[in-house]
């Protein structure tokens, strides 16, 4: 009976794990829906800012703007790694770590800032000790918190303390595709004009009010903040997708293991019953 008792304990443990992973899957699905809505809702604003900056750039404005040019090329770069605060999200943190390590090895003289406990722990394990661990922004980052971080980067870049700012994060493309990305935040790169406008044979003429330089001075910091905020939103959506997929796989595996253990238990129990019946029949035959 010892073997069947052990199997029953394993069956109970697997059942408890299955209930936990199913609950975590449901929670991740709910959070994913909210995070996806926030990410999609912020994209039109970010794309509109890109379009305005593109029009100003096409008009030849902003060539001397400090956010478009390196103030001090000899200063070190800054890399921001956006990882998860929690685990159990499949290959999400591992993918971010591998992308970060490739970038850091290619640019050894860089300052490092990390969001998320998992990324900070993994980077320490790989020998990176001197970095700034930023506080968690939560599952629903506030624009005000991201804006303060972006304003700090803008100030340090304009003062020549850093020569560039790059973000390593998981870019959300769709529910079935997320891509690890190294994005250059500063100096800010305005989108190029479309080929359709170049092939049309004429150039649009814009009138700006207030003047174009004043508009660009306002739009560039806003665009930098919007891009950083969009990066955080994409990273959170990607994390919830990875956790949702990982917990579904864990739930399915727990179900398969539970069925396998049940079959093993039934076979072992049947063998014990057969043995007991054989002993009873043999004992009765011996008494005759």
DSSP the chain: -HHHHHHHHHHHHHHHHHHHHHHHHHHHHHHHHHHHHHHHHHHHHHHHHHHHHHHHHHTT--TT-TTTS-S-TTSPEEEEEE--SS--STTHHHHHHHHHHHHHHHS-SEEEEEESHHHHHHHHHTT--S-EEEPP--SS--HHHHHHHHHHHHHHHHTTS-S-EEEEEEEEEETTEEEEEEEEEES--PPPPPHHHHHTS-------SS-HHHHHHHHHHHHHHHHHHHHHHHHHHHHHHHHHHHHHHHHHHHHHHHHHHHHHHHHHHHHHHHHHHHHHHHHHHHH-
Residue 156 banded pLDDT, cuts 50, 70, 90: very high
Reply yes or no on whether the pLDDT at 247 is more than 90.
yes
pLDDT of res. 200 = 43
145 assigned to some structural domain: yes
Q: Which domain holds residue 232?
A: 22-192+205-245
* Domain total of the chain: 1
158 assigned to some structural domain: yes
More confident call, 214 vs 247: 247
127 assigned to some structural domain: yes
156 assigned to some structural domain: yes
Reply yes or no on whether the pLDDT at 221 is more than 70.
yes
Tens-digit pLDDT profile for residues 84-102: 998 889 899 999 999 999 9
What is the domain-level CATH number for residue 154? 3.40.1380.10
271 assigned to some structural domain: no
Reply yes or no on whether the pLDDT at 1 is more than 70.
no
- Model confidence pTM above 0.75: yes
More confident call, 275 vs 199: 275
Reply yes or no on whether the pLDDT at 191 is more than 70.
no
276 assigned to some structural domain: no
112 assigned to some structural domain: yes
280 assigned to some structural domain: no
């Amino acid at each position: 009976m010892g073997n069947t008792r052990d199997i029953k304990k394993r069956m109970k443990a697997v059942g408890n794990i299955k209930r936990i992973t199913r609950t975590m899957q449901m929670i991740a699905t709910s959070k994913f829906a909210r995070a996806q809505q926030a990410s999609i809702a912020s994209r039109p604003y970010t794309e509109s800012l890109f379009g305005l900056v593109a029009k100003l750039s096409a008009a030849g404005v902003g060539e001397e703007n400090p956010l478009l040019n390196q103030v001090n090329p000899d200063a070190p770069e800054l890399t921001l790694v956006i990882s998860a605060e929690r685990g159990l999200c499949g290959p999400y943190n591992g993918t971010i770590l591998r992308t970060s390590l490739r970038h850091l090895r290619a640019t050894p003289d860089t300052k490092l800032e990390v969001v998320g406990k998992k990324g900070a722990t993994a980077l320490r394990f790989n020998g990176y000790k001197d970095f700034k661990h930023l506080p968690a922004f939560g599952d629903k980052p506030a624009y005000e918190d991201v804006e303060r971080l972006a304003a700090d980067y803008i100030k340090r870049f304009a003062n020549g303390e850093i020569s560039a700012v790059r973000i390593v994060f998981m870019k959300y493309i769709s529910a079935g595709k997320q891509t690890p990305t190294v994005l250059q935040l500063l100096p800010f790169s305005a989108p190029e004009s479309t080929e359709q406008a170049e092939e049309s044979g004429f150039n649009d003429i814009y009138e700006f009010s207030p003047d174009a330089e004043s508009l660009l001075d306002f739009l560039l910091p806003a665009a930098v903040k919007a891009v950083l905020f969009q990066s955080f939103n994409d990273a959170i959506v990607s994390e919830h997708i990875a956790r949702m997929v990982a917990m579904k796989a864990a739930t399915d595996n727990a179900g398969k293991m539970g069925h396998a253990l049940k079959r093993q238990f039934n076979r072992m129990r049947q063998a014990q019953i057969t043995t007991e019946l054989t002993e009873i029949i043999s004992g009765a035959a011996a008494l005759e």
